[in-house]
Amino acid sequence: MNRARHSDAQASAQPPPSPQGVWLWTGIAALVFGLITTGVVRLFQGGTPSADLTVTSVLVFLTVGAVGGWSWWLLLTRKGRVSEGRGAMAGALTALLGYLLIFQVANLVYGAAVPMFLNVSPVAKIVGGLILSVVTLLFSGWFVIPLLALLGAGLALLQIAATPSLEGGLIKRMRGLSQRSASLLRGRPIVRAIVAVVCIIGLLVTSAGVWVWSRPLFVGDLAVASAPVTDYGASVAAIETQIAAEAADPTLNPTCATRLFTPGHRTERVVIFFHGFTNCPAQFVPLAEQLVARGYSVYIPRVPRHGITDRLTTDLAGLSADDLVRFSSRSVDLAQGLGDQVDVVGLSMGATMAAWIAQHRSDVAQVTLIAPLFQIAGLPPFAIRPVASTILAVPNFYMWWDNQRHEQIIGPPYAYPRYPVHAAGALLRLSFAVQDAAEREPPAVRAILLVSNAADGAVSNPATDAIGDDWERNGAVVRRYIFPADLNLNHDLIDVNNPEQRVDLVYPTLITLIEQGATE
């Protein structure tokens, strides 16, 4: 007790630092905290950031740097009391306040860019930002607190060693810390047991965090061998066998069966439609019929675990990224015999599957991605991978598309009203695989069409643009089209059963865009 008072007296007896010293170490702390946090963010972005990721990195650096400098000045240099404990407190405070401010600003910035948030009140945006910051801190940023705390302690010891007025202070402080620690543990088995338990828990939590963060980054194993069916009769027979198997399954909704439209012979062009998450082939049938009338063959396969009559089924929980890759490639294999040129068109989840095809299948002429899911709108990009990692690691649970109406949601009567988070994580894992591959190597398909919806509140349009930039840089011909925000189109702009659909405008535009790709 006397030793503690003596230590405090020594600290208070230190000569006050010069104004230059105050601002120097405040600036150093701000710079180091900002750089380290930004580096951690960039580490888990994966690859080269696009424009919106760069803005987010700048936001992280400026926000954390400002909070870090303020915390250091408040707790250490303001009164000239420099210690490793105060440095650790400044680091932890920086992490907590930094996360809160980053997500408040990011929520306002991204919310302003997403039309569905334009009419949200400022109070609701602030509350939403707080909820987002707390959830992300718990899911993905918790380890930043001890990281910056350790960094702050190290900075404080460095300041003690480097400040002339504290000459010799570092060695004395380290010796004193060692003596106090030994004195605290000596003859106190309960204290030793508590310290051991805390260390073990810390090690387990850190290990779990490393596992959670790193798990979804291993996406290079998503590969499958292709086996194209080039004969028309063989292709039709294989697809009809698939349709017959679905018809014999009593759990499947007949409306959601795989569809094949063909005039009975090989055509010049074939289009494969990949439907959206929790929807089914019925989503694309009206658009397919218009293409069939123009001389196309059309194949709409049912994605595994979709289209079940019981819309509250739990079967979707078993969907994996490997399932999506195998299914996508097999669908392209079966369509090869239907016509001379195979095009792939996908919406949302289907667009992410089509993007994988674009990256890996050279026997496809053109790929059209409609509102692909590469990143979630409204969530800062650096949080996507750790959040996906977390939901893949925790026990599975379900989320409603509409939290008020639940299964009474207004929309397609065959679409699921809820989804398991593991399936959403699997879809994100597939998107990471595409993004990582697009940054490293050119796509196998040389003609790619990106169709975005400026009013889309579900997916990130800048992320779609970023992957298009990667493909263009690697030699692909990438065309882009954006449906204007004033159309107020829903994310699902294809299904005629969507109450906010404008298929009278969307269908002719898509057909024109798809056909333009055949003539270029």
In terms of domains, do 255 and 329 share one?
yes
Q: Phi and psi for 451 in degrees, rounded to 5?
A: -115, 115
Half-sphere exposure of residue 313: CA atoms within 13 angstroms, side-chain side: 22
Per-residue pLDDT of the chain (520 residues; tens, 9 = 90+): 444 444 444 444 445 555 555 678 889 999 999 998 888 776 655 433 333 444 467 888 888 999 999 999 888 877 778 888 888 899 989 988 887 787 677 666 655 555 445 556 677 667 766 766 776 666 556 678 888 888 998 898 888 877 655 444 455 555 555 555 566 556 567 756 676 777 787 677 666 666 665 554 455 567 778 899 999 999 999 999 999 999 999 999 999 999 999 999 999 999 999 999 999 999 999 999 999 999 999 999 999 999 999 999 999 999 999 999 999 999 999 999 999 999 999 999 999 999 999 999 999 999 999 999 998 876 666 667 777 777 777 788 899 998 888 889 889 999 999 999 999 989 998 998 899 899 889 999 989 999 999 988 889 898 899 999 999 999 899 999 999 988 999 999 999 998 888 999 999 999 999 998 655 5
Q: Are 63 and 105 in contact (CB under 8 A)?
A: yes
478 Cβ neighbours under 8 A, 6+ residues apart: 448, 449, 450, 468, 471, 472
134 Cβ neighbours under 8 A, 6+ residues apart: none
Residue 257 included in any domain: yes
Alpha helices of 44-168 — where are they, by DSSP H? 51-72, 84-113, 122-136, 144-162
Residue 223 included in any domain: no
Residue 37 included in any domain: yes
Quote the CA–CA distance of 155 and 427 in Å, as a whole number.
Answer: 42
Q: How many domains does the chain have?
A: 2
Q: Are 265 and 233 in contact (CB under 8 A)?
A: no
Quote the CA–CA distance of 261 and 271 in Å, as a whole number.
Answer: 10
Query: What is the pLDDT, as a whole number, of residue 109?
Result: 64
Q: What share of the chain is helix, strand, coil (3-state, %, to 5)?
A: 60, 10, 30
Q: Are 117 and 457 in contact (CB under 8 A)?
A: yes
Q: Are 481 and 513 in contact (CB under 8 A)?
A: yes
For the whole model, what pTM was predicted?
A: 0.71
Tell me whether strands 297-300 and 259-261 are parallel, antiparallel or unpaired: antiparallel
In terms of domains, do 311 and 374 share one?
yes
Beta-strand runs (E) in 366-488: 366-370, 398-400, 418-420, 447-453, 477-483
- CA trace torsion 200, 205, 211, 214 (10° rounding): -130
In terms of domains, do 41 and 107 share one?
yes
Quote the CA–CA distance of 35 and 61 in Å, as a whole number.
Answer: 6
Q: How far is CA 111 from CA 115, 403, 420, in A?
A: 8, 20, 25
Residue 218 included in any domain: no
What single DSSP character describes residue 366? E
In terms of domains, do 136 and 278 share one?
no
In terms of domains, do 172 and 239 share one?
no
In terms of domains, do 164 and 260 share one?
no
Residue 205 included in any domain: no
Q: Phi and psi for 168 in degrees, rounded to 5?
A: 80, -5
In terms of domains, do 393 and 488 share one?
yes
Per-residue tokens: 168:
């010799």
In terms of domains, do 167 and 243 share one?
no
Q: Are 53 and 384 in contact (CB under 8 A)?
A: no
Residue 197 included in any domain: no
Per-residue tokens: 431:
């998107």
Q: Which of 26, 60, 11, 20 lies closest to 152 in space, CA to CA?
A: 26
Report the run of H or E that residue 333 belongs to, with start and end. helix 321-335
198 Cβ neighbours under 8 A, 6+ residues apart: none
Per-residue tokens: 137:
């801190």
Report the run of H or E that residue 4 belongs to, with start and end. helix 2-13
Q: Are 260 and 243 in contact (CB under 8 A)?
A: yes
Residue 202 included in any domain: no
Q: Count the neighbouring beta carbons within 10 Å of the beta carbon of residue 264.
A: 8
- CA trace torsion 12, 13, 16, 21 (10° rounding): -80
Quote the CA–CA distance of 486 and 473 in Å, as a whole number.
Answer: 31
Residue 351 belongs to domain with CATH number: 3.40.50.1820
Per-residue tokens: 379:
């969530």
Query: What is the pLDDT, as a whole number, of residue 190?
Result: 72
In terms of domains, do 170 and 249 share one?
no
In terms of domains, do 6 and 111 share one?
yes
Rg (Cα) of the chain, in Å, rounded?
28
Query: What is the pLDDT, as a whole number, of residue 132?
Result: 64
Quote the CA–CA distance of 335 and 259 in Å, as a whole number.
Answer: 12
Quote the CA–CA distance of 93 and 141 in Å, as a whole number.
Answer: 13
Domain's final residue, options 158, 186, 214:
186
In terms of domains, do 30 and 163 share one?
yes
Q: Count the neighbouring beta carbons within 10 Å of the beta carbon of residue 118.
A: 12
What single DSSP character describes residue 249? -
Query: Which amino acid belongs to residue 249?
Result: D
Burial class (CB in 10 A: 0-12, 13-18, 19+), 467: buried
518 Cβ neighbours under 8 A, 6+ residues apart: 269, 341, 343, 365, 366
In terms of domains, do 152 and 91 share one?
yes
Per-residue tokens: 450:
């990106």
Residue 198 included in any domain: no
- CA trace torsion 246, 249, 251, 252 (10° rounding): 20
Quote the CA–CA distance of 115 and 435 in Å, as a whole number.
Answer: 25
The range of the structural domain enclosing residue 87 comes to 2-186
293 Cβ neighbours under 8 A, 6+ residues apart: none
Quote the CA–CA distance of 109 and 105 in Å, as a whole number.
Answer: 6
